[in-house]
A = this chain, B = another copy of it.
Amino acid sequence: MIVVLKQNPNPDQVEGLVNWLEGKGITIHRSIGENQTVFGLVGDTSALDIGLISALDIVEDVKRVAEPYKEANRKFHPEDTVIPIGNTTVGGGNLTLIAGPCSVESEEQMVGIAKAVKASGVTMIRGGAFKPRTSPYSFQGLGKQALEYLKVAKQETGLPIVTELMDISQLPLFDDVDVIQIGTRNMQNYDLLKAVGRQEKPVLLKRGMSSTYEEWLMSAEYIMSEGNPNVILCERGIRTFETYTRNTMDICAIPVLKKLTHLPIVIDPSHATGRYALVPSMAMAAVTAGCDGLLIEVHNDPQHALSDGAQSLRPDKFDILAKNLISLHNFTASLPPMQFD
């Protein structure tokens, strides 16, 4: 951590700060410039509160040098995390395809789509049971009933289930769920993160719609620090000034996170773009950039979808896409490596 002092700081206050830091086991390296004095703090600075130090009258600025996350940090865990789920694994060079409807509407719909996407090569199914909708007057999901339909789809196809948990109180209903999704609006719902950190199922953690990489990894850290190491990060578009697409899909999150963390990274091009016509090219681009998997909305009849239909593909179109994604993944794996860092 680096502490930049104001010009001509009160010497007593400077010594007060030095003593306080040394009392916490921190060693201080001083750089005294023409206009500015800078302290380099050495030791375990993760216990120090930046806000506290910034508040001091003599301090102009404080910057962290070391990342504040530990469990999620590749520096301390260089090997990729690989998460076994049912008969498949996420991470470690596999391409995990997760597909299904935005909302579970009926057993027939869910089982039908699950069978169709399985035939296209999908290894996990998704479907919304509890739906976080902007409006209280919009359809909020079938809830418990939807979880029953997902269970049937799992029994019929053998594919594991991913579905969203919105509140701790729903957890007892998730016995047959294989991966718990935490949605973008709950990425910093810390009590919920702690709760899923205290249970054993893998967690798919969506990026908050305006969260930085560091904040996202700190939310993963909340889960991991409670004991659950199986976190899958999911980029789903960030909020920018552009309004043509629902969000701006940040593909660069893939190589950045591959550097910063050992956790697997999955991309959701359906929510990121909000337009199904953009999903294929963005899904393909994500595979090329090195993602560990994709979460894609597929619907048997978008004309009658109850939510988010605009971003769903039909199974016949998804089938072409899925096969192209798998071909592309195999092709890129065969290219000469370009590890430059």
Copies of this chain held together in the complex: 4
- Is A133 an interface position by the 8 A CB rule? yes
Q: List CB contacts (< 8 Å) of A28-42 with chain B.
A: 29-36, 38, 40-42
User: Given known contacts A241-B239, A287-B288, A307-B52, is B281 in contact with A259 (CB within 8 Å)?
Assistant: no
Q: How many of chain A's residues have a CB under 8 angstroms from any CB in B? A: 121
User: Given known contacts A135-B221, A185-B189, A256-B278, is B307 in contact with A320 (CB within 8 Å)?
Assistant: no
Shortest C-beta distance, A148 to chain B (Å), equals: 20
A169 in contact with B166 (CB, 8 Å): no
Q: Which residues of B contact A135 (CB under 8 A)?
A: 46, 68, 218, 221
- Is A245 an interface position by the 8 A CB rule? yes
- Is A324 an interface position by the 8 A CB rule? yes
User: Given known contacts A29-B29, A55-B303, A252-B273, is B285 in contact with A313 (CB within 8 Å)?
Assistant: no
- Is A11 an interface position by the 8 A CB rule? no
A302 in contact with B55 (CB, 8 Å): yes
User: Given known contacts A31-B29, A338-B320, is B137 in contact with A46 (CB within 8 Å)?
Assistant: yes
Shortest C-beta distance, A216 to chain B (Å), equals: 10
- Is A80 an interface position by the 8 A CB rule? no
* Nearest chain B residue, comparing its CB with the CB of A189: B189
Q: List 14 A-B contacts (CB under 8 A).
A: A7-B75, A31-B40, A33-B41, A40-B40, A47-B137, A55-B302, A135-B218, A213-B242, A243-B243, A245-B256, A252-B273, A313-B340, A317-B340, A328-B331
With A52-B309, A136-B218 already in contact, 20 other A-B pairs whose C-beta atoms are closer than 8 Å: A36-B66, A38-B65, A52-B304, A54-B310, A166-B191, A167-B168, A167-B192, A210-B239, A212-B241, A240-B248, A243-B243, A245-B256, A254-B281, A255-B278, A255-B282, A259-B277, A285-B285, A285-B288, A285-B289, A324-B338
